[in-house]
């Protein structure tokens, strides 16, 4: 669930900033398949990768971080 939320945020900001998966993956130094797995929620991005993505997209890590889901319990 957490990985899916990260993936949706990364994909949304990537598209908003006009990057293709191929271009962002190349600039991050990762394969397109790894970036695709992250965006689909099949893989959690590492902290260092999150920092790299935020820097490349010119946003803060806080902006990229999914908001916390409040539990009703």
- Cα 28 to Cα 5, 41, 70: the distances in Å are 20, 18, 32
CATH of domain 2-62: 1.10.260.40
Instruction: Spell out the per-residue pLDDT of the chain, length 73, in tens.
Output: 899 999 999 999 999 999 999 999 999 999 999 999 999 999 999 999 999 999 999 999 999 999 987 766 5
Question: Using CA atoms, how far apart are residues 27 and 47, in angstroms rounded to an integer?
Answer: 17
Can you give the pLDDT at residue 63?
95
Can you give the pLDDT at residue 33?
98
Q: Which of 3, 6, 24, 4 is nearest to 66 (CA)?
A: 6
Can you give the pLDDT at residue 73?
55
Give yes or no for a contact between 35 and 21, defined as CB atoms under 8 angstroms apart.
yes
Please calculate the CA angle 59-10-41 and round it to the nearest 5 degrees. 155
The dihedral sign for the CA sequence 44, 46, 47, 52: negative
pTM of the complete model beyond 0.85? yes
């Amino acid at each position: 669930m957490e990985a899916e939320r990260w993936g949706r945020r990364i994909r949304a900001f990537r598209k908003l900033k006009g990057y293709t998966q191929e271009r962002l993956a190349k600039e991050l130094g990762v394969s397109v398949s790894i970036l695709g797995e992250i965006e689909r929620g099949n893989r959690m991005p590492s902290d260092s990768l999150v920092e790299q993505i935020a820097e490349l997209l010119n946003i803060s890590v806080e902006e990229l971080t999914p908001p916390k889901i409040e539990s009703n319990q």
